[in-house]
Amino acid sequence: QVQLLESGGGSVRPGGSLSLSCRMSGSTDDIDALGWFREASGKEREGVASVYGGGRKIVIGDSVKGRFFVSPGDGKHLIRLQMNSLTCEDSGMYYCAAGRGPLLWIDSKPYVQYWGQGTQVNVSC
């Protein structure tokens, strides 16, 4: 079993920044991809960013490119998501996700084995 512990999130004004962290523990031998999804009210869950290949490769979702950045904290078990220039559309529940990889989503379809509990991001609009 794999556990995903999320931290960060909160409330911010438009244009502000927030950061999220996710630490993975447990039986992680077959897990190679760690990342973030988000789900806004009334919308489908979408992939935001992921790290795979032992932390060497990064994927950023089209809707956040140029504003969100992900960094592998230790190559596999810890990742950080830096979110800049936040807009109203960025509000929602953000979920840490882990999978066998290499990709956590393909054409919007998730390929995830484990989900975190989620952490709320509110952009005050």
Taking only the tens of pLDDT, the chain with its 125 residues reads 999 999 999 999 999 999 999 999 998 889 999 999 999 989 999 999 999 988 889 999 999 999 999 988 775 789 999 999 999 999 999 999 999 988 999 888 999 999 999 999 999 98
Q: Which residues lie below 8 Å from residue 66, measured CB to CB, with a gap of 6+?
A: none
- In a 3-state reduction of DSSP, which class is residue 91? coil
Q: What is the pLDDT of residue 49?
A: 96
Q: What is the pLDDT of residue 75?
A: 59
What is the DSSP secondary structure assignment for residue 93, as one 8-state letter? Answer: E
Residue that is written with structure tokens 């999320």 in the block = 6
Q: What is the pLDDT of residue 72?
A: 84
